């Protein structure tokens, strides 16, 4: 099952990183509450109630504009994206499953799990470094902003779940 693209009142995605998608149940709830309007529907996917049959929305737009946030919360996925899914020690390009988080200053030596102390590493580099002060990453870790992550996201391939999404976002945007 696919999700529903959520657009702000200006017809732009609420967020590019992560892309503002919601599950279809939440989309139906927003429609019933009058918070959104449907722009596109899945033609081949309907839900049924005792009194109605409704196509599941593919794209919805908020009635009121919400100001987007520019601050990025710390999480593993954003560390990998900040580092372009590349080991910061050997520069090897990695898939999401091959990425690990490495603490530049190991936790055992007082290091914290923050933007300024973690980098993406491959399994072998992470194991070699272990709990030592070992090699330094090629790029000093830093806290990215939303726009940096959105720019890095543009470099990665993406296939939309529904063709109508391309009316609002394209591979140049995301």
Query: Does the pLDDT value for residue 112 go beyond 60?
Result: yes
What is the CA 72 to chain-centroid distance, rounded?
A: 11
User: DSSP H helical segments within 33-172, as ranges?
Assistant: 76-82, 123-129, 146-154
Report yes or no on 123 lying in a domain: yes
Question: Percent of the chain at pLDDT above 70?
Answer: 97
Clarify whether residues 64 and 82 are in a common domain: no
* Selection from 11-20, 91-100, 126-135 with the highest mean pLDDT: 91-100
**Alpha-carbon dihedral sign for residues 117, 20, 10, 163:** positive
Give the structural domain span for 15.
4-69+156-167
**For position 163, what pLDDT does the model report?**
79
Task: Report pTM.
Answer: 0.69
Neighbours of 59 (CB within 10 A): 23
Clarify whether residues 60 and 82 are in a common domain: no
Report yes or no on 173 lying in a domain: no
Clarify whether residues 127 and 97 are in a common domain: yes
Report yes or no on 19 lying in a domain: yes
Instruction: Indicate which CATH number applies to the domain containing 118.
Output: 1.10.30.50
pLDDT tens for 68-106 read 777 788 989 999 999 999 999 999 999 989 999 999 999
Report yes or no on 150 lying in a domain: no
Clarify whether residues 59 and 89 are in a common domain: no
Considering its fold, how many domains does the chain have in total? 2
- Going from the C-alpha of 131 to that of each of 15, 69, 140, the distances in angstroms are 37, 36, 18
106 backbone dihedrals φ, ψ, rounded to 5°: -55, 150
Strand 53-62 with 4-7, pairing: parallel
**For position 76, what pLDDT does the model report?**
92
């Amino acid at each position: 099952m696919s999700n529903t693209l959520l657009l702000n009142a200006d017809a732009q995605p609420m967020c590019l990183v992560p892309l503002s998608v919601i599950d279809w149940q939440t989309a139906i709830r927003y429609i019933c509450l009058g918070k959104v309007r449907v722009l596109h529907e899945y033609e081949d996917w309907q839900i049924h109630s005792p009194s109605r049959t409704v196509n599941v929305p593919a794209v919805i737009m908020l009635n009121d504009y919400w100001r987007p946030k520019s601050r990025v919360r710390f999480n593993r996925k954003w560390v990998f994206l900040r580092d372009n899914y590349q080991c910061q020690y050997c520069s090897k390009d990695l898939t999401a499953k091959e990425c690990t988080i490495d603490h530049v200053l190991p936790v055992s030596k007082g290091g914290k799990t923050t933007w300024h102390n973690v980098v993406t590493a491959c399994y072998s580099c992470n194991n070699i470094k272990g709990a030592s002060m070992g090699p330094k990453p090629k790029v000093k870790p830093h806290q990215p902003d939303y726009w940096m992550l959105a720019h890095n996201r543009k470099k990665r391939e993406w296939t939309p779940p529904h063709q109508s999404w391309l009316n609002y976002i394209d591979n140049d945007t995301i």
